[in-house]
Each structure stands twice: as structure tokens, then as C-alpha cells.
Amino acid sequence: MTGSAEHPFSAAIKPLADAMGAELVPPGEARGDDVVLSWQGAEVVAVRLPHLADSLDHILADLERRHGKALSELERKEKQTVVRILEERGAFSVRHGVETVASALGVSRFTVYNYLNRENAAKDGRQSTA
């Protein structure tokens, strides 16, 4: 949904929709699983959420844009941070999530599991000292 007649509410939620990989469509074009949003009692926009399988690819692409380079070019510490962010966002609950992330980072699955284990050990250490 772009154009000069775009509703201010649609413009306000566009960055959120983009970050999620969602598409904004006119309410009249909404399908059964789209989320129609209203403003002051009038339907303004429908949000078409991405398929779960596409979400991980979108998140990885967003992380590349934020870092300004391919994730495989990041330093080890940056890759560990990326894995932490992805874990927080549920990336590893998606089928083949570890493999997809490992490929994007240019590391092995074993390395991704090591990053995850290191992060979980650090969380456990913080919790037990509190």
C-alpha cells in the first residue's frame, strides 16, 4: 500500500510491518488470515503476515542490512550476538533453523550450537548469582 492517499495510520505502522516482513493491503483485499486494523471506527489497512518459514529469511536479511554486510563477514563476537538475537526471536524453533542460520553465518551447525550453549550457560550463571 503506497501512494499519496496513504492513511497516516498506515504510514505509522509501515516500519513495523516491514520489520516483520508483513505486507500492508487495502482492507477490501484482506484474506481470511490477514489482520484488519481500524482507526476511529473505520477499517484502514490489512496486515498480511509472512509465512513462518519465510520469517527467518526475512530476519536474516534485516540483520544483514543492519550490519551493512553479509553475516558471514562478521567477526566471531558479532556472530555470537546475532545468534543471541535470533534465539530471542525464536529462530531456532523453525524447522532447519540452525542449518539456515549456520549457512548465513558461514559457520557449522556445531558452531551455532556452541554459541547457543555459551549464551545459555551465561544466562544460568547470571541467574544463579542473583
Q: pLDDT value at position 130? A: 46
CB 59 within 8 A of CB 86: yes
Q: pLDDT value at position 26? A: 95
Q: pLDDT value at position 5? A: 62
Given a cut of 70, the residues of the chain with pLDDT beneath it are 1-5, 126-130
**Residues forming beta bridges with residue 46, ordered by sequence position:** 25, 36
Q: pLDDT value at position 44? A: 96
CB 98 within 8 A of CB 112: yes
CA distance 49 to 51: 7
13: its cell numbers = 505502522
